[in-house]
Amino acid sequence: MHLITVQRAVAKNEMPAATQLKQWAKEVLKSKTPDVEMTIRIVTVAEMTELNTQYRHKTGATNVLSFPYDMPVGLDDGPVLLGDIVICANIVQQEAAAQGKPVIAHWAHMVVHGTLHLLGYDHETPADADIMESLEKMILKKLGFSDPYQ
């Protein structure tokens, strides 16, 4: 079972329905891991800027951040606590407009991207980026979205 909690720090009209967000994350999780818990938090530019500064030492807001949970030894007998992804609603909308993408497709991409990060994927090297982007494209295609990198 995948328990996904959605937290909103923005108006509901600035984001997809919680059921959609959960569906996109579950598509990533269904073939990767059994019972997991994770949170998707939708935030303002101010909150994302604070998180990006505090945890990545970068100035300004970003579209998505992932915070994997590192399970202490001995506490791993229940569902896997995967972690949290944080998505900035305003940045997602701005990027979708700038890139000429449907906003809903960009939201799906951010959820898939962030969830893959929780599973340990990254894009620090070209080889790692190729693997992660291939997975993103495959998962988004299953969800009915086009290649986010075109």
Q: What one-character-per-residue DSSP string does 45-114 give? A: HHHHHHHHHHHH--SS--SEEEEE--PPTT--SSSEEEEEEEEEHHHHHHHHHHHT--HHHHHHHHHHHH
The pLDDT of 60-78, averaged and rounded, is 81
Q: How confident is the model at residue 70 (pLDDT cuts 50, 70, 90)?
A: confident
- 56 in any annotated domain: yes
Domain, as residue range, for 58: 2-142
- 107 in any annotated domain: yes
- 95 in any annotated domain: yes
Task: Look at residue 14 in the predicted model and tell me its pLDDT.
Answer: 72
Task: Look at residue 67 in the predicted model and tell me its pLDDT.
Answer: 96
**Mean per-residue pLDDT over the chain, rounded:** 91
Task: Look at residue 135 in the predicted model and tell me its pLDDT.
Answer: 96
- 32 in any annotated domain: yes
- 148 in any annotated domain: no
The two three-digit tokens of residue 96, written as one number: 């979708």
Q: How confident is the model at residue 76 (pLDDT cuts 50, 70, 90)?
A: low
Choose among 115, 133, 114: nearest CA to 32: 115
Task: Look at residue 81 in the predicted model and tell me its pLDDT.
Answer: 86
Residue 1: is its pLDDT beyond 80? no
Q: What is the pTM of this model?
A: 0.93
Query: How many domains are there within the chain?
Result: 1
- Domain CATH for 50: 3.40.390.30
Task: Look at residue 108 in the predicted model and tell me its pLDDT.
Answer: 98
- 75 in any annotated domain: yes
Task: Look at residue 80 in the predicted model and tell me its pLDDT.
Answer: 79
d(CA 72, CA 4): 21
3-class DSSP assignment, residue 4: strand
Q: How confident is the model at residue 72 (pLDDT cuts 50, 70, 90)?
A: low
- 150 in any annotated domain: no
Residue 6: is its pLDDT beyond 90? yes
Task: Look at residue 13 in the predicted model and tell me its pLDDT.
Answer: 75
The two three-digit tokens of residue 65, written as one number: 């951040």
Give percent above pLDDT 90 in the chain: 80
- 147 in any annotated domain: no
